[in-house]
């Protein structure tokens, strides 16, 4: 049961209605049952994994809090890390590591038999594993108290809006909210509904439409052209943003209607002026998790320069591996790590150069140049993230340098017999170039004229939504869609697009479900 399915359109209103009708004592048990039902609609046979992870982390946290013996506390923290990460690594990385080991042995002349287990990747395992780990670590640090009721803690781990793709919530934010009854509130309902509408627009209207063209290039790397790779990669940057932030908006909206406020996970990442700022805006719950539970324990920036740079690389390599059991994700993480290292090493000379030419870092031209450069750098890294294999990623990168056909830039010869003929040619040449260029674009990505117009219109509408959807600094951290007319228009657009997609059986899961 995905958010963009008919089943969810029935499931969520029933859950919300029960939440507001049931007495206080029955609200959270109903949410727990609903959350487990929601998860079992994906993989009922693997529900024991989330139950086991929840049980181990809860027992460990209780023992850690009660014990005053540092050895006992450290032992149970270690047990939790081994069990939770062990389950994650077995189901997500066993075949990947085994295949990599076999490839390495063969590289040195060995002939080992491949080891492949028929494993199903549990949906959302990376998300709920990190949520349980943050809970136990916070208890170990003494920053939070344990939850005495196991079933209430189980609700914190399995709360259905953010269960399978985040945001990765912190216990101090979510647990107290789950404990409160939250009666019906018109403001919460309106703002939550607006979040959901924007999320559905991003996913159904933009991401699913763009995915068709992105797949046509990335699933046929050998046939791609240089321009096709550039366009498909730029479109994938839009696709993955709309897909993932769309899921987050729907999750935030579902919870907000019930009075529960999940953390913001995206803040206009493609407006960042550096890769460091990009990661302060992209998948905020994950980047802050790695900051608090990996980067800081490694020493952060309060150490020697070389160690600081190494810490950055370690964090981004782990982040890449977290995203998937494929070397393409590791390379993607390594690229972002290199970006961070290079950024740290060059920040002073870059700022000195700006001062030398008389420009401030806050000058509008500097800001927009940096935004463009940051997007290009992030977009290049997305190529490896989206590529099916490392080999195909190499082919696609090669196309960027060798797969260009610039024949559309060849203009007709100017007819110089008369001034009028020459003027006519000069006027017509730009339109001919534009027409040839658009034809080349459509051929490169496999778009029809109608598809190209729909894609451009969807992206322009997305830009308009981002301008209308402003994250304010109010205490509730709400997002307000300021134009009611646009809000109604988006509802109709989503319903229309959704009906078309479902009638053609084109519904798709969210990209981050596989992580």
| Cβ 159 vs Cβ 31: under 8 Å | yes
In the set 182, 195, 323, 336, the catalytic residue is 323
Q: Please name the residue that has the structure tokens 């674009």.
A: 441
In whole angstroms, what is the distance from residue 284 CA to residue 173 CA? 15
SS3 481: strand
Q: Residue 323 catalytic?
A: yes
Residues 6 or more apart from 359 whose CB is under 8 A from it?
365, 366
In whole angstroms, what is the distance from residue 176 CA to residue 491 CA? 33
Please name which of 183, 182, 166, 232 lies closest in space to residue 399, comparing C-alpha atoms: 232
| Cβ 333 vs Cβ 319: under 8 Å | yes
Q: Give the DSSP H or E segment for 302.
A: none
Using CA atoms, how far residue 77 sits from 80, 139, 383, 438, in Å, is 5, 10, 38, 59
Residues 6 or more apart from 477 whose CB is under 8 A from it?
261, 263, 264, 471
In whole angstroms, what is the distance from residue 11 CA to residue 32 CA? 14
> Which tokens hold the place of 236?
């994938």
| Cβ 447 vs Cβ 439: under 8 Å | no
C-alpha 490 chain-centroid distance? 23
C-alpha 43 chain-centroid distance? 22
Residues in the chain: 515
SS3 113: coil
In whole angstroms, what is the distance from residue 358 CA to residue 115 CA? 61
| Cβ 132 vs Cβ 59: under 8 Å | no
Please name which of 65, 29, 30, 35 lies closest in space to residue 50, comparing C-alpha atoms: 35
| Cβ 19 vs Cβ 169: under 8 Å | no
C-alpha 457 chain-centroid distance? 23
Using CA atoms, how far residue 24 sits from 19, 179, 415, in Å, is 9, 9, 84
> Which tokens hold the place of 514?
């596989």
**Which long-range CB contacts under 8 A does 97-103 form with residues at least 24 apart?**
100/327
Indicate which residues carry an active-site annotation: 323
């Amino acid at each position: 049961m995905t958010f963009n399915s008919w089943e969810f359109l029935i499931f969520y209103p029933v859950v919300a209605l029960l939440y507001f009708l049931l007495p206080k004592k029955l609200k959270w048990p109903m949410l727990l049952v609903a959350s487990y039902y929601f998860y079992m609609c994906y993989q009922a046979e693997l529900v024991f994994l989330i139950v086991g992870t929840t049980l181990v982390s809860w027992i460990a946290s209780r023992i850690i809090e009660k014990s005053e013996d540092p050895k006992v506390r450290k032992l149970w923290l270690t047990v939790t890390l081994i069990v939770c990460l062990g389950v994650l690594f077995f189901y997500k990385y066993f075949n990947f590591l085994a295949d990599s080991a076999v490839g390495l042995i063969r590289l040195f002349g060995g002939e080992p038999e491949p080891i492949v287990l028929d494993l199903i990747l549990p949906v959302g395992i990376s998300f709920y594993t990190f949520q349980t780990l943050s809970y136990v670590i916070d208890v170990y640090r003494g920053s939070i108290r344990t939850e005495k009721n196991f079933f209430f803690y189980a609700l914190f781990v399995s709360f259905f809006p953010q269960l399978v793709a985040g945001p990765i919530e912190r216990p101090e934010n979510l647990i107290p909210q789950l404990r409160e009854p939250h009666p019906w509130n018109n403001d919460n309902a309106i703002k939550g509904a607006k979040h959901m509408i924007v999320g559905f627009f991003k996913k159904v209207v933009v991401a699913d439409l763009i995915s068709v063209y992105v797949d046509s290039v990335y699933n046929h790397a050998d046939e791609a052209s240089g321009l096709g790779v550039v366009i498909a990669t730029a479109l994938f940057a839009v696709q993955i943003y709309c897909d993932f932030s769309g899921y987050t908006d729907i999750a935030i909206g579902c919870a907000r209607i019930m009075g529960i406020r999940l953390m913001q996970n995206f803040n206009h990442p493609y407006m960042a002026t550096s890769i460091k700022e990009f990661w302060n805006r992209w998948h905020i719950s994950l980047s802050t998790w790695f900051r608090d539970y990996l980067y800081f324990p490694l020493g952060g920036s309060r150490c020697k320069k070389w160690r600081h740079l190494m810490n950055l690389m370690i964090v981004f390599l782990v982040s890449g591996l977290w995203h998937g059991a494929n070397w393409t994700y590791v390379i993607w993480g390594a690229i972002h790590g290199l970006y961070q290292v290079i950024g740290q090493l060059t920040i002073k000379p870059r700022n000195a150069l700006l001062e030398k030419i008389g420009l401030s870092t806050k000058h509008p031209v500097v800001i927009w140049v940096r935004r463009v450069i940051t997007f290009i750098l992030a977009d290049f890294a997305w190529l490896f993230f989206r590529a099916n294999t490392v080999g195909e990623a190499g082919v696609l990168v090669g196309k960027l340098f060798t797969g260009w056909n610039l024949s559309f830039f060849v203009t007709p010869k100017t007819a110089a017999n008369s001034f009028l003929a020459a003027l006519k040619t000069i006027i017509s040449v730009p339109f001919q170039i534009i027409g040839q260029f658009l034809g080349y674009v459509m051929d490169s990505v496999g778009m029809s004229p109608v598809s190209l117009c729909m894609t451009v219109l969807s992206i322009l509408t997305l830009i308009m939504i981002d301008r209308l959807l402003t994250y304010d600094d109010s205490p509730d951290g709400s997002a307000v869609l300021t134009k009611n007319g646009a809000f109604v228009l988006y509802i109709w657009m989503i319903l229309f697009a959704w009906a078309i997609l479902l009638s053609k059986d084109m519904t798709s899961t969210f990209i981050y479900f596989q992580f």
